[in-house]
Amino acid sequence: MAKPAEHRTLATEHDGKTSYERWVESEGIPVIKTFFVEDIRTVELRWWERKGGKGAFLQMEGAGQVNNCYICEIPPGKSLKPQRHLFEESIYIVSGHGATTVWNQENKKQTFEWQTGSLFSPPLNAWHHHFNGSGSQPARYLAVTTAPTMINLLHNLDFVFDNHFAFEDRFDGRHEYFSGQGVIHAGEYQGFKFAGNIWATNFVPDVRSFKLMDYRERGAGGKNIKFELSENTTACHISEFPVGTYKKAHHHGSGAHVIILSGEGYSLIWPEGEPIRRYDWHEGSMVVPPEGWWHQHFNTGKEPARYLALRAFGSKKYRGVGKRYKGTVDRKQGGDQIEYEDEDPMVRRMFEEELARKGIESRMESHYGKMR
């Protein structure tokens, strides 16, 4: 636990850094700043005293300090230190298997098992304790949290990490809270209409094989599912699109951490009026487009491309503040999506040249017509 003097430092230093940035520096682990991580499975980690395992911050430039990302490893045959905190956290298991115990009261502990591909969120400010189920291999997970928002707002680590309030409206210890069962909401949820489908749950056993539903608004014959986890304001979704296709360009708010679950391809990312940047990806890559930047995903592999996106303040149930983007509406109609017929011809040419180089047939013309 940090000392009060450290808390005062967060609030009183005038070095141009935010309270969150000063906290990150004080944690003593690597800080990676970029738009793109080539492989989250191989990011170098260092001992993290707070966690009791190895870790690194992925301080992605596209997150804009709305949310953050870190990777942590549990040593073989060990557990991390029990934690609780006043920020939301979505956890994706990168590799390994193990279990997590969650509680607000000692007599109401719940333990559930997880594996590579599992997704869950410890309820806000509930104690949680992660265990590695292997005696020979580390277990690695990636977490996206709202820590920057909360630490910058409160700038008091005792209040963030040692607060005794139990949010029983989020976690009351009820039986099978993390059973993986859920409820599907299609078309409308809590009075809000939306394009797509929502699965309300607290635990997803494996996002790599979770059944998706048709989601053609973004083009490419894609599929999608959106998750509401642990009564959070944060959001996450899985998308998948077929071989020989690509998705329509769009933009949205900051903090969408896109993790490639399967397939290979590339993403184009650019701010309005500036040169396009290309990032080639494969299973384990992660890209985070900054707020308002156009981005577009391309499948140039021999299997469907699937990704998991973790972001802040995207819940359909608990709507947040900030600009409301219309990510599936044509920009000619006031939305934030570029239709295929309006994109730069270079986009289609680049894609088809890449497919030809790999001996893969494009499916775009048969579905969406020949570009000019």
Mean pLDDT is lowest, of 8-12, 20-24, 82-86, 313-317, for 8-12
Among 109, 129, 161, residue at a domain's last position: 161
Average pLDDT over residues 91-118: 95
Average pLDDT value over all residues in the chain: 89
94 and 197 together in one domain: no
Per-residue pLDDT tens over the stretch 131-147: 999 999 999 999 999 99
Both tokens of residue 30?
């690597």
DSSP 222: -
Domain presence at residue 175: no
The tally of domains found in the chain comes to: 2
Domain presence at residue 277: yes
Domain presence at residue 71: yes
224 and 341 together in one domain: yes
Domain presence at residue 178: no
145 and 228 together in one domain: no
C-alpha dist (Å) from residue 359 to 15, 61, 347? 54, 35, 19
222 and 323 together in one domain: yes
32 and 121 together in one domain: yes
The burial class, CB within 10 Å (0-12 / 13-18 / 19+), for 136 is exposed
Domain presence at residue 169: no
Average pLDDT over residues 261-275: 95
The owner of tokens 């409820």 is 183
* pLDDT tier for residue 247 given thresholds of 50, 70 and 90: very high
Q: Which of 196, 174, 160, 138 is nearest to 328 (CA)?
A: 196
As a whole number of angstroms, the distance between CA 61 and CA 36 comes to 9
C-alpha dist (Å) from residue 218 to 4, 86, 212, 329? 49, 35, 15, 9
343 and 207 together in one domain: yes
pLDDT at 6: 46
* pLDDT tier for residue 5 given thresholds of 50, 70 and 90: very low
pLDDT at 7: 47
* pLDDT tier for residue 243 given thresholds of 50, 70 and 90: very high
CA Rg, the chain, in Å? 21
212 and 273 together in one domain: yes
- Residue 218 reports pLDDT greater than 60: yes
Domain presence at residue 166: no
Average pLDDT over residues 56-84: 92
- pTM listed for this prediction: 0.92
134 and 202 together in one domain: no
pLDDT at 4: 43
As a whole number of angstroms, the distance between CA 67 and CA 59 comes to 9
As a whole number of angstroms, the distance between CA 296 and CA 176 comes to 39
13 and 95 together in one domain: yes
As a whole number of angstroms, the distance between CA 182 and CA 170 comes to 15
240 and 288 together in one domain: yes
The owner of tokens 């969150």 is 20
Domain presence at residue 29: yes
Domain presence at residue 177: no
Instruction: Report the CATH number that the domain containing residue 278 is assigned in CATH.
Output: 2.60.120.10
* Boundaries of domain holding 51: 4-161
- Residue 254 reports pLDDT greater than 70: yes
155 and 189 together in one domain: no
Which amino acid is residue 154, in one-letter code?
L
pLDDT at 173: 83
196 and 129 together in one domain: no
